[in-house]
Structure 1
Amino acid sequence: MPVAGPKRRRVWRWALPVVVVLLLAGAVPVALVATGAADAETPAEAAAPTENPTTVAARQVSERITAQLDRQATALLAGDRAGFLAIADRKVHSELRRRFAGLQELRVTRWEGRPNGLPTPAGSPGEWRLSVEFHYCFVVPDCRPSPLLVNTRWRDGAEPRLIELAKSTATPQVGGRVRAQAGTLPWEVSKLAAAVGKRTIVGTTPAYRDRLPELLRRAEAAARVADEYVVDGAVPDRYRIFYAGPKEWQRWYGGDQPEWGAGYAVNVGGGHYDVVLGPDSFNNRAYLDVMLRHELVHAVSLPDNSYWDDSVWWLIEGLAEHAGADGVPVARYDGLIPTRKLVKGDWNGKLDSLIPAEDASAEEATGSYGISYLAVRYLLDRFGERKVLAFVKAVVHDLRVPRQVSEEVFGKPWGKLQGDCAKYIRRAVG
């Protein structure tokens, strides 16, 4: 009886139909000043509209807060912890100390915060709520920055004081207007230790600091493989990789992972995907290398949006599995046994319904990944890397369905080509 394969990975996606509630100021009302009869006779002298006093006050508060955010950013980039804390009430200092330390470990090179809309009264006199959007870079000063939206509360004055700083929460991407947000980031909730290489930055909690040298070495090797799978644009300036202990696995990026998951790549914007490795990653060093190659290929091959449909899951994961396998013969693919079981079971030969359910067994999930791997391997062996990456760009980045682009890219209709894939897969599993 076949045994279940190791836990597999998944790339994080966002549900599109969910509606986002933005914590922004409402529409600005306009009041017209009444005029007398004489004014009516001279339209050129008619009174101009005046802005709502609450809006005027909110704009002035926003300007003062922006100045404070600029001071804090300057302090962070200068390594000045006292200056970083200085804009905040003492009750927020412990939160800020942890973030300061984590950002320094990750070699923050760019940090700026700007109000995302106008502040709104918080209820208590002189207090305001404000959604702040931060942009940050690690290691490379001129990177394309990742955005982060957080809710804050301030006490106004000549120099407003930060009195509450929330952790970021996950939001979906809606209608192209609001980008997806990943959820709570490691440096928002955990003490971190990190190491930097030529192509990667790796981080974990201090309890696992001793694993960083090995993780960095293996991540650098995986990055050299992943760099060959760029689909659109350039490779990331640094791949960002975090190793999670059991506690962090439940907290980072929302912690909502299926039982069969062992790691994932999550979109954090700015062309970056953070890679998270689960607690069991170091149990098998060879499998750790496979997982790193797999997840880093997600980071280099996926677009900076999450609009793709579940029907192309096989293509996304199959490409990553191919990188993970790193050229081993099909007979040595580590998920071959559960793949054979699924193929010889109730698989219908189609590729567009392979995504495993959240409650799928590890064996079922591994079989779905395996079919995806074999399908992409068939396409690569038959048509070559250039055409397959062009197909990925058209389907995953440009959101065109396979039947629209198959003849354009491969010179074959998709129905025929999918049938050929299925025949290859059935032969490959024996």
Structure 2
Amino acid sequence: MAFRPIRSHHFPDRARSWERWERRRGRSRRRWPLWAPLGLVLAVLACGVPGVLLLVPGAAGRPAAGPPDDPAARRLAERMAVQLDRQAAALLAGDRPGFLAVAESAARPALTRRYAALRALRVTVWRPEVDGVPAKVDGRPGEWRLTVTVGYCFVVPDCTPSTVAIGTRWRIVGEEPRLVTVEESRAEPAGARPWEVSDLAVAVGKRTMVATTPALRAKLPGLLAQAEAAAEVADRYAVAGTPPDRYLVFYAGRTEWQRWYGGGRPKWTAGYAVGVGGGHHDVVLNAQTSTPTGTDDLLRHELTHAASLPDRGYSDRSTWWLVEGLAEHAGADGQRVARYDGLAEVRKLVHGGWNGRLDSLAPADDAADDRVGGAYGVSYLAVHHLVDRYGEQRVLDFFRAVVHERQSLDEAADQVFGDPWSGLHDDCVNYLRTVAGA
């Protein structure tokens, strides 16, 4: 029996990020993710979102704040920026010695790994920008700390860059600042990117790029083929008109699953997607729980989120059914409703006390598996019914009006469908009750 996606785990925008978790259900079938304890806010990282910044907590020692109007501190920041620019130029030119030349010897092993991973990912843009002025690090005489925000692109040279803030520590050698440490980005929920902490093997296709650890390199050809097929589907759901320039998928082994993007996912998690800026969403699959057949619809669902959601995200819990229903519709990829691998959970939810309101479907963080699975199934059936009645393009227009333009369901239904939402809502519910045999 095939895996089936059990969808999104959304985080509030405390880190201007969003994340989806996937959970397995029964033997080889996918499970449904639970909601974040802090509630639903899906805030997609993008350059279109003002002030995108993943804040990095201090590592050993806390920096003493330096006055921004201190001329000496500003000059030091400028010298550090020159070093970072040299390093960026070396990275883009494939000059590993030049990339390492700005660092002390103790920092070079970690930087060597980072360089190799970024080159494997075909980095095309690397733009470090200094945030403020350096500050002395308490307990570490002669060391300075500086936060650097980096805009980066992979494969595509003219993409809208993703953004990450990285803590750096420096020591002055003569007149020249030298890198002592480059810290992992630790902002929650995004956490450390795989290229910061792991050796990577990479396969690149026309629309996607798939990366994993060297130990799992043999999986790459099959994963790339599946991702390319999923991207063809997801591209059709680019609500704003332009699909992502490239979908990036990471396949995590046991250790990496606990470390990439902060780790700490529940044991039932099979995959998730997280916004990393510039309208990009990195997708992560759990090698311990994924199966070849289950990966297909998981990828279709996840990549559809990346294609359909607005850069600034959304925060209306009442429209959860529409966001997840559209992704489920894409994940089903035209299969007959009777073959949807979740009808049993739909029946249990419909017969088990659900109040019949689509705006109440969003599951609680401690919801049981069948309650979560039923919520996704009901969402799928509601969107499927709207597509049957009005066609896919008008449903995408409806989605754009509600999720992108933040119109009310009443306004959007009147504008796009020419019918009142109250009647359409009841029509959808009657349909899914019929499917469920209620």
Match of 1:219 among 184, 207, 227: 227
Please state how far the C-alpha of 1:152 moved relative to its aligned partner.
Answer: 1.2
Match of 1:278 among 282, 286, 292: 286
Which residue of structure 2 lines up, in the alignment, with residue 178 of structure 1?
none
1:350 to 357, 361, 367: 357
Q: Match for 1:150: what amino acid?
A: I
Of 365, 386, 389 in structure 2, the residue corresponding to residue 382 of structure 1 is 389
Task: Report the CA distance between 1:113 and its aligned residue.
Answer: 0.8
Partner of 2:12: 14
Q: Distance in 2 between matches of 1:203 and 1:249?
A: 13
**What is the CA-CA distance between 1:366 and the residue it aligns to?**
1.4
Q: Choose the corresponding residue for 2:169, options 130, 139, 153.
A: 153
SS of corresponding position for 1:251? helix
Instruction: Name the CA distance, whole Å, in 1 between partners of 2:54 and 2:4.
Output: 36
- What's the Cα RMSD here? 2.6
Q: How does 1:19-418 map to 2 (within 5 A)?
A: 55-123=70-138, 124-157=140-173, 158-171=175-188, 182-280=190-288, 282-283=290-291, 285-418=292-425
Show the counterpart of 2:436: 429
Q: CA deviation at 1:247?
A: 2.1
Shift of 1:227: 0.8
State how far apart, in whole Å, the 2-side matches of 1:368 and 1:5 are.
17
- CA drift at 1:330: 0.4
Residue by residue over 1:285-314, the C-alpha shift from the partner in whole angstroms, topping out at 9 and shown as x without a partner, is 232111111111011011222342222221
| Contact preservation (8 Å) 1:5, 1:337 | no
So what's the TM-score if we normalise by structure 1?
A: 0.85
Residues 7, 260 of structure 1: 8 Å contact kept? no
8 Å CA contact 1:243, 1:276 repeated in 2: yes
Evaluate the alpha carbon distance shift between residue 305 and residue 27 of structure 1 in structure 2; reply closer, same or farther with a 3 A threshold. Answer: farther
Q: Is the 8 A contact 1:259 1:359 kept in 2?
A: no
Output one character per residue of 1:115-139: Cα deviation in whole Å (capped at 9) or x when no partner: 1122222234543211100111111
Shift of 1:352: 1.7
The answer on whether the counterparts of 2:64 and 2:137 sit within 8 Å (CA) in structure 1 is no
C-alpha change, 1:80 and 1:22, in structure 2 (3 Å) is closer
Normalised to the residue count of structure 2, the TM-score between the two structures is: 0.84
How far apart are the structure 2 equivalents of 1:220 and 1:20? 30
Letter in 1 for 2:180: I
The higher relative CO (CA closer than 8 Å, separation ≥ 6) is in: 2
Structure 1's unaligned 5+ residue stretches are 30-51, 172-180
Question: CA separation in 2, counterparts of 1:20 and 1:205?
Answer: 25
Q: Deviations 1:99-124 (Å, cap 9, x if unpaired)?
A: 11111111111112111122222234
- After superposition, the Cα gap between the structure-2 partners of 1:403 and 1:256, relative to the gap in structure 1 and judged at 3 Å, is farther
User: CA separation in 2, counterparts of 1:21 and 1:206?
Assistant: 30
* Shift of residue 167, structure 1, vs aligned partner: 0.7
**Secondary structure class of the residue paired with 1:119:** strand
| Whole-angstrom CA distance in 2 between matches of 1:184 and 1:404 | 41
Structure 2 unpaired stretches of 5+:
16-37, 39-52, 58-62
Deviation of the 1:258 alpha carbon: 4.4
Q: Cα offset for 1:278?
A: 1.8
Q: In structure 2, do the counterparts of structure 1 residues 370 and 333 end up closer, same or farther at CA, with 3 Å as the change threshold?
A: same
Aligned CA distance change for structure 1 residues 351 and 255 (closer, same or farther; 3 Å): farther
Change in CA separation of 1:25 and 1:355 when aligned onto 2, cut-off 3 Å: farther
> Is the CA contact 1:8–1:262 (under 8 Å) kept in the aligned structure 2?
no
Q: How many residue pairs align between the two structures?
A: 394
What amino acid does structure 1 have at the position aligned with 2:178? R
Output the CA distance in 1 between the equivalents of 2:229 and 2:290.
16
Q: What is the aligned-residue identity percentage?
A: 55
